[in-house]
Every structure is written in C-alpha cells, then in structure tokens.
C-alpha cells in the first residue's frame, strides 16, 4: 500500500458534521421523490444533484465526479433523444434506463459520500446528541459497518464466479441472482454472528450513558451547505407545486 493512502484521513478535509450529512440525505430524498422533467424546478434539481458531486470531488475523488457527470449528461441527452426519435419497445426501454440512472445515480453517490466519510464513533456521537434511542443508533451503525464488508464479500464471490465461468448464470436471470445471493447470505450470516459476539464482549449494549470521544460540532461550512440545500429544497417544492407536478 502506498504511503499517501496510509495517511489518508477517513473523514476528508471538508469534514462535515454527521448531522449535516443526515440533513443532506433527508432533503435529497424529498427532492428525488417529487418527479420533475422541466422548468425552473428541474434546474434546481440539477444544481442539488451536483452539490454532493462537488463534495466528492473536493475529497480528491475527481475521477468519480467526472465519471458521474459524464454518465448523468449522457443519460439526460439520451432521454431527450429517445423521446424524439426512438419509438416502440426499444424507445420505452431506453427511456426507462435513462430515467433510472437520473433518479438513482444522484442518490447513490450522495449515500456513498455520506457513509464513506463518516466514522462510526462520530455517527454514534451525533445520534447521542440528537437523543435517539441507543437501539436505533446501534442498528444504523451496524449497517454502516456492514456496507464495506458486503462489498468485499461480493467482490470475492464475483471472482469465484468468473473462475467458474458462470458470471452470466448460463443465460438465466434467476440463476444469476441465485449464484450471487446464496454465498453472500451465508457469509453475511456468519460474519454478523462473529461481529456481534465480538461487540458484546466489548460491552456494547450496556445500560449506561455511552461516552463519546469524538468531537463533533457544526462549523461554518455545515451551516453553508445545510442552508443552501434547505433553500433549494423549499424553492424546488414551490416551483413544482406551481408547475402542477404536485397536487396538494
């Protein structure tokens, strides 16, 4: 492993408060839920989409930002093109694909940003400050801990499938899913068991007030980003109601 990666700070230098990230996620899901295809609301939507992309780029992952931008631009262009020139089933499929990319890619990149730059201890501290019950905080923390593990497991399973030459499941979609899911489930169950055994021997779940070593606080950039997103979301809702996209 190279030295620069060794010293990499997980939270990156923007280092938003976990609560701002949570806010970002909530506002973003509101925007994604209301579907808009044109007008001023659409412009706001695009701006909001690119805020997390900018954040990702600021963490030095410029290649990911660029790839996302290309994908997004290609999908929007293709959508317009398909609406005009491609008809029939092919057109429908193409439209559907573009729609999926435009809907989900921004959410995925936001979630990825939020999870990959948050330490579990910071997250637990944030949950504690918000006076959420420990049970909920622990469950979400376990999920955050599990995402990278899932990724690791999945990639070794994919390797094993490549070696067997069954990556495409012999042409059957059901087999493709089955071959991936069965080993994944088995290994997740055993890892989950070992993980919880290790956690309870370290006192997780003790009925005491948990101490938080991590310093978390709202900084100027937190206020900046949260207020920008909040204003944009409100504008978005107003414009989409005016545009008739949302019926009250």
Partner 1 sequence: MIEIKNVNYHYAGSENNGLENINLNIYDGECVLLCGASGCGKTTLTRLVNGLIPHFFKGELAGEVMINGKVVSQEEIYNLAGIVGSVFQNPRSQFFSVDTDGEITFGPENIGIEKKEILARKDKVITELNLEKLMNRSLFELSGGEKQKIACGSVAALLPEIVILDEPSSNLDYKSIKKLRDIILLWKSQGKTIIISEHRLWYLRNVIDRVIYMEKGRIEKEWNHEEFAKLNAEELALKELRPVDVEENYINRFFGKNSDKEEQIYDKTQNEPADNEMVLRDFFFTYHPKKYLLFRKKISPQDEKICELKIPYLKVRKGEIIGVIGNNGSGKSTFLRCLCGLEKSCIGRVETCDRNVYGTKLTKLCYMVMQDVNHQLFTDSVLSEVMLSMEKPDENIADGILKELDLFEYRQKHPMALSGGQKQRVAIASAMAAKAEIMLFDEPTSGLDYRHMKEVSGLLKQLSEQGKTVFVSTHDPELLELCCDRTIRIENGKAYEVF
**Nearest to partner 1 of 208, 247 (CB atom):** 208
- The residue among 18, 73, 69 whose CA lies nearest residue 222 is 18
Query: Would you tell me how many other CB atoms lie within 10 Å of the CB of residue 126?
Result: 21
Q: How far apart are the first and last CA of the chain?
A: 56
> Shortest gap between Cβ of 20 and partner 1 (angstroms)?
19
Residues 195-214 binding partner 1 (CB under 8 A) are: 195-214
Q: Give the residue, chosen from 194, 219, 227, 230, that forms a contact with partner 1 under the rule CB under 8 A.
A: 194
Q: Give the residue, chosen from 43, 47, 105, 120, that forms a contact with partner 1 under the rule CB under 8 A.
A: 120
Residue 230 CA, chain-centre distance (Å), reads: 19
**Nearest to partner 1 of 71, 237 (CB atom):** 71
Alpha helices (H) along the chain: 3-6, 18-33, 39-58, 62-85, 88-116, 120-129, 134-164, 173-201, 220-242
> Which of these ranges, 8-16, 28-36, 48-56, 240-248, lies near partner 1 under the rule CB under 8 A?
8-16
Round to whole Å and give the CA distance between 14 and 117: 9
Round to whole Å and give the CA distance between 77 and 87: 16
The tokens 């499938």 sit on which residue? Answer: 161
Does 1 bind partner 1 (CB under 8 A)? Our answer is: yes
> Shortest gap between Cβ of 28 and partner 1 (angstroms)?
22
Query: Would you tell me how many other CB atoms lie within 10 Å of the CB of residue 40?
Result: 15
Residues 19-78 binding partner 1 (CB under 8 A) are: 63, 66-67, 70
Q: Give the residue, chosen from 10, 93, 132, 230, that forms a contact with partner 1 under the rule CB under 8 A.
A: 10
* Binding footprint of partner 1 on the chain (CB under 8 A): 1-2, 5-10, 63, 66-67, 70, 119-122, 124, 141, 144-145, 148-149, 152-153, 156-157, 159-166, 178-179, 182-183, 186-187, 190-191, 194-214
């Amino acid at each position: 492993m190279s030295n620069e990666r060794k010293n990499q700070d997980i939270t990156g230098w923007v280092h938003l408060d976990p609560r701002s990230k949570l806010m970002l996620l909530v506002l973003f899901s509101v925007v994604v839920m209301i579907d808009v295809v044109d007008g001023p609301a659409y412009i706001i939507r695009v701006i909001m989409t690119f805020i997390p992309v900018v954040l990702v780029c600021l963490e030095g992952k410029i290649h990911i930002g660029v790839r996302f931008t290309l994908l997004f631009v290609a999908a929007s262009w293709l959508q317009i093109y398909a609406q005009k020139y491609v008809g029939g089933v092919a057109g429908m499929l193409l439209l559907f694909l573009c729609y999926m990319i435009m809907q989900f890619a921004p959410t995925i990149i936001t979630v990825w940003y939020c999870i990959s730059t948050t330490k579990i201890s910071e997250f637990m501290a944030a949950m504690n400050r918000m006076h959420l019950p420990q049970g909920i905080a622990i469950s979400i923390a376990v999920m955050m801990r599990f995402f990278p593990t899932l990724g690791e497991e999945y990639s070794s399973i994919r390797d094993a499938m490549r070696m067997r030459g069954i990556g495409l499941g012999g042409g059957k979609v059901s087999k493709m899913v089955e071959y991936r899911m069965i080993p994944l489930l088995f290994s997740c169950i055993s890892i989950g068991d070992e993980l919880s055994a290790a956690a309870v021997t370290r006192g997780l779940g003790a009925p005491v007030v948990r101490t938080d070593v991590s310093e978390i606080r709202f900084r100027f950039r937190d206020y900046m980003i949260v207020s920008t997103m909040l204003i944009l979301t409100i504008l978005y809702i107003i414009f989409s109601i005016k545009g008739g996209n949302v019926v009250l």
